Amino acid sequence: MSVVDVDLAGAVEGAAAHLYVWSLKDIPQDLRDALADASERETSVTGRRVLSTILRNVEVADTERNLVCQDTGIAVYTCRVGERFPLHPARIYEALKAGTERATLEHPLRSNAVHTITRENTGPNTGHRLPIVHWEFVPDWDGLDVKCVPKGSGSENMSFLKMCVPADGVRGIKQFVLESIVGAGGKPCPPGIVGVGIGGSADYAMYLAKEAIARPIGTRNPDRHVAQLEDELFELLNETGIGPMGLGGDVTVLQCHVEHADTHMTLNPVAVNYQCWAARRATAHVSASGDVEYDREA
For residue 73, the enclosing domain spans: 3-24+69-150+280-295
- Give pTM, 2 decimals: 0.94
pLDDT at 78 exceeding the cut of 70: yes
> Considering the domain boundaries, does residue 59 fall inside one?
no
User: From residue 8, how far is each of 17, 171, 283 by CA, in Å?
Assistant: 14, 48, 17
For residues 220-233, give the mean pLDDT: 98
**Of 179, 167, 151, 154, the residue nearest 272 (C-alpha):** 179
User: Which pLDDT value is given to residue 218?
Assistant: 87
Pair (269, 284) in one structural domain: no
pLDDT tens per residue, range 59-75: 999 999 999 999 999 99
Lowest-confidence range among 253-257, 263-267, 293-297?
293-297
pLDDT at 141 over 50: yes
Q: Is residue 200 part of a domain?
A: yes
Q: Cα(277)–Cα(290) distance, rounded to whole angstroms?
A: 34
Q: Residue 10 belongs to a domain with what CATH number? A: 3.30.1330
> pLDDT value at position 1?
41
pLDDT in the model for residue 172: 97
pLDDT score of 3: 45
C-alpha span between 6 and 87 (Å, rounded): 9
Note whether 9 and 85 are same-domain residues: yes
Query: Is there a contact between 91 and 152 (Cβ–Cβ < 8 Å)?
Result: no
Domain shared by 224 and 100, yes or no? no
288 and 144 within one domain:
yes
User: Does residue 182 surpass a pLDDT of 90?
Assistant: yes
pLDDT: which is higher, 154 or 2: 154
Q: Is residue 41 part of a domain?
A: no
Residues 6 or more apart whose CB falls under 8 angstroms from that of 182 comprise 240, 242
Q: Are 161 and 208 in contact (CB under 8 A)?
A: no
Q: What is the mean pLDDT of residues 277-281?
A: 95
Please tell me whether residues 197 and 286 are part of one structural domain. Answer: no
Domain contains 250: yes
Question: 229 and 164 share a domain?
Answer: yes
122 shares its domain with 171: no
60 burial class (0-12, 13-18, 19+ CB within 10 angstroms)? Answer: exposed
User: For 116, which DSSP code?
Assistant: T
Mean pLDDT of all residues in 44-72: 96
Confidence (pLDDT) at 7: 86
DSSP-assigned letters across all residues of 274-288: EE-SS---EEEEE-T
Q: State the pLDDT at residue 122.
A: 96
Q: Calculate the average pLDDT of the chain.
A: 96
Q: Tell me, yes or no, whether 269 and 142 share the same domain.
A: no
Look at residue 2 and tell me whether its pLDDT is greater than 50.
no
282-286 vs 253-261, strand pairing mode: unpaired
**What tens digit of pLDDT does each residue of 93-125 get?**
999 999 999 999 999 999 999 999 999 999 999
Same domain, 8 and 118: yes
pLDDT (mean) for 158-175: 97
The pLDDT tens digits of the residues spanning 6-43 come to: 589 999 999 999 999 999 999 999 999 999 999 999 99
Q: Are 143 and 287 in contact (CB under 8 A)?
A: yes
114 is a domain residue = yes
The pLDDT value given to residue 192: 96
- pLDDT score for 6: 52
The answer to whether residues 78 and 128 belong to one domain is: yes
* Same-domain pairing of 202 and 261: yes
